[in-house]
Amino acid sequence: MVMLITQLLASAQLGTGETLTAKVPFQFLVGNKVIPAGQCVVRRASPESMLIISNWGTKASLISPASKTQDKLASSNNALVFHRYGDRYFLTGIKLEGSKTEYRLPESKAEAELRAQNMPASEETLLALLQ
């Protein structure tokens, strides 16, 4: 029983060699880097606290730190989470199906400035495929 639970917990994390893929219909920012609209791929880098975020079609790629937080409920889907301010999007999190763990990306300077200006924000979630 303990081995089964351990395997289930391990599968709820983005493993080495696994990718999370989503078709993103808008450009978005991670840190100070713009990722164009298109097929977005996220994978874990080494060390574990770093993520590689890419749009292979446009050859845009970056490495970003990520922290793990615990949600109250397990996610029902694999998803990319964005904050939206008008027509500007910021990747803020990655959720994995069946896991309470969420990978959180640091807030960019541009997003902090928009938030400081009291710009209305919404959260957008795009479903993703774990491969």
pLDDT at residue 8 is higher than 50: no
pLDDT in tens, 38-51: 999 999 987 778 99
> Which residues contact residue 121 at a Cβ distance below 8 angstroms, ignoring those fewer than 6 apart?
83, 84, 85, 114, 115
Q: For the chain, which residues make up each domain, given as ranges?
A: 2-130
pLDDT of residue 92: 97
Q: What is the pTM of this model?
A: 0.86
pLDDT, the chain, mean: 88
Given a contact cutoff of 8 angstroms between Cβ atoms, the answer to whether 91 and 84 are in contact is no
Residue that has been written with the tokens 């298109």 in this structure: 38
**Of 13, 31, 29, 26, the residue nearest 78 (C-alpha):** 13
